[in-house]
Amino acid sequence: MSGTATAATQYVCLTCGYNMIGGCPDTCPFCGAGRDRIITQEECAKRFRVHATLVTKGVTRLMSQPALGYEHAAYRVETPARNFWIDCPCLFDETLDPVDVITFTHKDFMGASNLYRDRFRAQVWINEQDADHPLARSFPVDRAFSGDFSGDGLEAHHVGGHSPGFTVYMAGSVLFVCDLLYFRGERLIFNPYGPKRPTRDAGKSLAKLLETQDRAFSHVCDVHEATPFGQWHDAFARLLESF
Ligand SMILES: [Zn+2]
């Protein structure tokens, strides 16, 4: 399947950004938008660009401009051994620098990972519990991992919650939480779109995990933005106190 997908035959939902491999359905399987909201990646490339913003040394945020659908941040992490992306842009932008591994926090943001995988001969990694989800199943995966792992400057910690396989990452001084929790104004909230109690439990697991870290974090990268760690951690403490 991955060998045959191209930007001309892969479809993207303008409402949510979901990629449809190998054909155009009548409605978007992710958000339900109609056929008039679905275009090819080739057409997308004429209207959008992936914009890279430096977070800190070795970490860059990738987002489409203008926003493509719901839009989410993916992050590029450069280590001496490998270039990783954590999550993947929905737009297939052929001008981006090569990546070695695209690894996911969860199943919702697989974007155009199949096309980038082909272009860069990259590997795609995701937790095995998310790889089997109907919305993820059509995307090629090279490593369906379980639990935690670390190597080449990246640490993965399985916390579950918003999705069964939800995984947070650490690289150097940066923590990556995607949409397990994010800011609404000044306040951090748990992702409300999913199982509420498991998502809160994942937050508590994350708090325990952070207590065991003796590194000094500088930033927390989420689905929208990067926040200085101190500011994020204060908001996280207030969120946990509210439960
Ligand atoms: Zn959609």
Cα-to-centroid distance, 44 and ligand 1 (Å): 14
Instruction: Summarize pLDDT for 55-80 with one digit per residue, the tens.
Output: 999 999 999 999 999 999 999 999 99
Instruction: Summarize pLDDT for 129-177 with one digit per residue, the tens.
Output: 999 999 999 999 999 999 999 999 999 999 999 999 999 999 999 999 9
Cα-to-centroid distance, 180 and ligand 1 (Å): 20
> Quick one: pLDDT at residue 2?
44
Containing H/E element for 163? none
Cα-to-centroid distance, 85 and ligand 1 (Å): 23
Cα-to-centroid distance, 10 and ligand 1 (Å): 14
Instruction: Summarize pLDDT for 169-198 with one digit per residue, the tens.
Output: 999 999 999 999 999 999 999 999 999 999
> Quick one: pLDDT at residue 1?
44
The SS3 assignment for 182 reads strand
Cα-to-centroid distance, 187 and ligand 1 (Å): 28
Hunting for tokens 């689905």 — which residue is that? Answer: 223
Instruction: Summarize pLDDT for 198-222 with one digit per residue, the tens.
Output: 999 999 999 999 999 989 999 999 9
Which three-class secondary structure string do you get for 36-98? HHEEEHHHHHHHCEEEEEEEECCEEEEEEECCCCCCCCEEEEECCCCEEEECCCCCCCCCCCC
Measured CA to CA, the distance from residue 243 to residue 237 in angstroms comes to 10
CATH superfamily of 11-241: Ribonuclease Z/Hydroxyacylglutathione hydrolase-like (3.60.15.10)
